[in-house]
């Protein structure tokens, strides 16, 4: 179980939001439980700040049965009509009320969800149960039909200090040790994304500060774990593609995460084979875009990485296995210092050799390594270092990298 799931708040007071918002949510739940006809609310704001968790908390503290629908459930009006309209006018077990939750309502696709708006509008008019809508963008045209029939509740990004305090609390509950510097850096980079910060904390527990380089800054509509959920759990072309398109996570980063986690999520050998086959074609388009400087190829790489992998599933998807941090990125983080040093050396030598850095690394460095070793035996280390500094502007540490290059690259 991830830390996000393990420590999800079950009460309104556990949310990181202002008192005015908390009071509005408490009032909504209390009025619904008291039998009043309550106007639906639409909770909106950036991803990862607790909007869906707030709806779950409303249901929990008021003893309401939760009926939750996500973007993949809005595919056609007939499904909604059959499942929701009868529920809207009936009572649950022991006459309990239900809370009807529409998550990611602004991700409705006009192509796949034709006719859903009238069904949802009818549900609002006829439902005996409270309704909550969740959206990232309240001003999206896709939710314009809701603005006059719902009350809006805005969730804002919490401060980095509030997120840091939350992370320290989770570390204490887990009885783990992590430096305050790492916690502060995670909170700073989270940009108010609570879920993203907790996921980053889980990755960084037991890791060094150097790994922070791989996490980047969370300034995105849909961070990496949400994108992965849409890819692996939706089995829907449009949902997976939209998750990728609405995310600011770099394509290379998503491809690494997907490649690492295909065996974690898919149990069928045929699904795993098909997913990797599709991902290999995505990698070809990604590399071709870079090589030919024609970035139209990235559209194909993006769709294959998201929708292609999603459609490779035969429906047997593991819900229990957590996402693993890509081993390739871990290795790159561990060797970052060496790679930076060799890049600097290649830059200096490329000017001397009138060749590209890639050519220097692939063809010249190993030969130069042998020449330096032989020169040291003939003339001594001091003379060779003096010559390398004067002729190629390489210092002692850089010469050592060149000498060891054959061993390091083997």
* Alpha-carbon span 203 to 3, nearest angstrom: 10
Please count the other Cβ atoms lying within 10 Å of the Cβ belonging to residue 71: 23
Q: Which distant-in-sequence residues (6+ apart) come within 8 Å of 398 by Cβ?
A: 341, 344, 345, 348
- 3-state SS class at 245: helix
- pLDDT of 263: 92
Q: What is the biggest distance separating any 2 CA atoms in the chain, rounded to whole angstroms?
A: 95
* Alpha-carbon span 88 to 131, nearest angstrom: 10
Element spanning 44, H or E: strand 41-44
Tokens representing 299 are 């559209």
Residue appearing with tokens 């005996």:
128
Q: Each residue of 248-295: pLDDT tens digit?
A: 677 888 999 999 999 989 989 999 999 999 999 999 998 988 788 777
The answer regarding whether domain 3-154 maps to CATH 1.25.60.10 reads: no
- The mean pLDDT value of the chain amounts to 83
Q: What ranges do the domains of the chain cover?
A: 3-154, 160-215, 224-330, 336-409
Q: Each residue of 129-181: pLDDT tens digit?
A: 999 999 988 888 888 889 999 999 999 999 999 999 999 999 999 888 888 88
- 3-state SS class at 66: strand
The pTM (predicted TM-score) of the whole model is: 0.56
* Alpha-carbon span 264 to 277, nearest angstrom: 16
- Cα 410 → chain centroid: 34
pLDDT at 409 over 90: no
């Amino acid at each position: 179980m991830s830390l996000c799931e393990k420590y999800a708040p079950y009460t309104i007071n556990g949310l990181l939001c202002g008192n005015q918002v908390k009071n509005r949510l408490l009032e909504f739940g209390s009025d619904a439980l008291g039998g009043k006809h309550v106007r639906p609310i639409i909770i909106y704001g950036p991803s990862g700040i607790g909007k869906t968790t707030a709806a779950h908390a409303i249901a929990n503290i008021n003893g309401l049965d939760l009926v939750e629908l996500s973007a993949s459930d809005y595919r056609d009006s007939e499904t909604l009509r059959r499942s929701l309209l009868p529920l809207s006018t009936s009572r649950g077990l022991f006459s309990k009320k239900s809370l009807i939750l529409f998550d990611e309502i602004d991700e409705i696709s006009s192509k796949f969800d034709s006719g859903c708006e009238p069904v949802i509008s009818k549900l609002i008019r006829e439902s005996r149960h409270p309704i909550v809508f969740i959206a990232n963008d309240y001003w999206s045209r896709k939710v314009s039909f809701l603005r006059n029939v719902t009350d809006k509740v805005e969730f804002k990004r919490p401060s980095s200090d509030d997120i840091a305090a939350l992370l320290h609390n989770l570390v204490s509950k887990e009885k783990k040790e992590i430096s305050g510097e790492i916690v502060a850096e995670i909170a700073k980079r989270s940009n108010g994304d609570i879920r993203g910060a907790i996921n980053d904390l889980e990755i960084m527990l037991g890791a060094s500060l150097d790994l922070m380089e791989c996490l980047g800054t969370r300034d995105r509509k849909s961070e990496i774990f949400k994108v992965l959920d849409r890819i692996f759990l939706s089995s829907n072309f449009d949902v997976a593609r939209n998750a990728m398109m609405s995310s600011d996570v770099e394509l290379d980063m998503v491809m690494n995460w997907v490649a690492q986690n295909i065996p974690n999520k898919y149990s069928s050998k045929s699904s795993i084979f098909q997913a990797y086959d599709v991902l290999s074609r995505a990698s070809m388009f990604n590399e071709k875009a870079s090589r030919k400087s024609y970035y139209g190829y990235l559209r194909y790489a993006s769709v294959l990485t998201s929708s292609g992998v999603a459609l490779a599933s035969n429906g047997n998807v593991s819900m229990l296995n957590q996402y693993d941090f890509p081993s390739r990125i871990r290795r790159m983080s561990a060797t970052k210092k060496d790679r930076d040093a060799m890049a600097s050396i290649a830059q200096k030598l490329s000017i001397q050799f009138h060749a590209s850095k890639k050519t220097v690394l692939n063809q010249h460095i190993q030969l130069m390594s042998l020449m330096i070793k032989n020169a040291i035996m003939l003339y001594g280390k001091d003379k060779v270092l003096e010559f390398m500094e004067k002729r190629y502007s390489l210092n002692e540490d850089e010469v050592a990298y060149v000498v060891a290059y054959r061993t390091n690259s083997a």
